[in-house]
Structure 1
Amino acid sequence: MRNSKAVGDETEARAISKLVACNYSVSVPFGDNDKYDLVIDDGTDLYRLQCKTGWSNKAETLRFNTHSQTTKNGAYHEDTYHDSIDAFLVYYPENGQFYWINTDDATEQKMELRFESEINHPSINWAAEYEFDGRIP
């Protein structure tokens, strides 16, 4: 089993490759002290992105963390990304797809995107609506 740092590094590398292929300028902040992993430039605006790797926690569902988890001086800390990033760029290894979720759309701890459901409820976050097709929403 790979450690979470290695998984995150691979997701970030895939994100850089995808964004560069979509003609964005990508910058990587120095060190690990910023809440964002990448800054992209679309020629007009800059976007601070937090890259996340999604996982399947139940059938037809992708889940990812929308908070950071750290240990400082032996104590566990959780913190949200609100006001520190503009969007999450989530990679889902099971289908090789990226999903762009603006911070305003994200929940506080974890977020689920649904691929299918027997019901259509307003609280469902449909994965198809967040698919990153190379254009910033």
Structure 2
Amino acid sequence: MANTKATGDVTETRLLHELVAAGYSVSVPFGDNDPYDLVVDTGGEFVRVQCKTGWLEDGRIRFKTASKTTKNGEVTTTDYDGEIDAFMVRCRDTDAVYWVPVEDAGRKNTYLRIDDAEIDHPSINWASAFEFSGVIV
């Protein structure tokens, strides 16, 4: 990809496709000023989704869970606390798709482990537990 905006557009389009193919009605907010990229109608509620591109790093899929903006030369990092309900992630290296409820994500980064099954620790997020199967949980 040429730049991060293009990469994000590819990810958002892929994730939109996954949701529509699973039978959900999806709305896209107008403009780029909302903290969420998609709003999913589950038939009983509206779910605010932030789309993220993940990448492989040391046996894990990593994605950022904070937004970085520059205004007047000052960089500001903001988390999505209270602004979204879930992250939907496309791993750029494997093209796998994940659904991560905001309460299961970290404040700046989240890691989904894909290897080293010998590790047994309660704080490990196994990628397989978050694979998007077409059902929002």
TM-score of the two chains, using structure 2 as the length reference: 0.96
Looking at structure 2, the residues matched to 77 and 69 of structure 1 have their Cα atoms a distance apart, in angstroms, of 6
Identity %: 51
The residue that corresponds to 1:98 in the other structure is 97
Cα deviation 1:97-137 (Å, max 9, x = unaligned): 11111111111110100012231111211000001100011
The residue that corresponds to 1:39 in the other structure is 39
Looking at structure 1, the residues matched to 95 and 65 of structure 2 have their Cα atoms a distance apart, in angstroms, of 20
Secondary structure at 2:43's aligned position in 1? coil
Looking at structure 2, the residues matched to 116 and 10 of structure 1 have their Cα atoms a distance apart, in angstroms, of 26
The residue that corresponds to 2:53 in the other structure is 53
Cα deviation 1:48-79 (Å, max 9, x = unaligned): 00000001121x21000000011011100000
Alignment RMSD, CA only?
0.9
How many residues in Structure 1 have an aligned counterpart in Structure 2? 136
The residue that corresponds to 2:27 in the other structure is 27
Shift of 1:95: 2.2
Secondary structure at 1:94's aligned position in 2? coil
Q: Which runs of 4+ in 1 moved over 4 A?
A: none
The residue that corresponds to 1:10 in the other structure is 10
The residue that corresponds to 1:86 in the other structure is 85
Secondary structure at 2:7's aligned position in 1? helix
Looking at structure 2, the residues matched to 52 and 127 of structure 1 have their Cα atoms a distance apart, in angstroms, of 15
Which residue identity does 2:50 align to in structure 1?
Q
Looking at structure 2, the residues matched to 4 and 94 of structure 1 have their Cα atoms a distance apart, in angstroms, of 15
Q: Which runs of 5+ in 2 are unaligned?
A: none
Shift of 1:93: 2.5
The residue that corresponds to 1:67 in the other structure is 66
Looking at structure 2, the residues matched to 97 and 134 of structure 1 have their Cα atoms a distance apart, in angstroms, of 13
Looking at structure 1, the residues matched to 114 and 22 of structure 2 have their Cα atoms a distance apart, in angstroms, of 24
Looking at structure 2, the residues matched to 93 and 74 of structure 1 have their Cα atoms a distance apart, in angstroms, of 30
The residue that corresponds to 2:114 in the other structure is 115
5 Å-filtered alignment, 1:119-134, equals 119-134=119-134
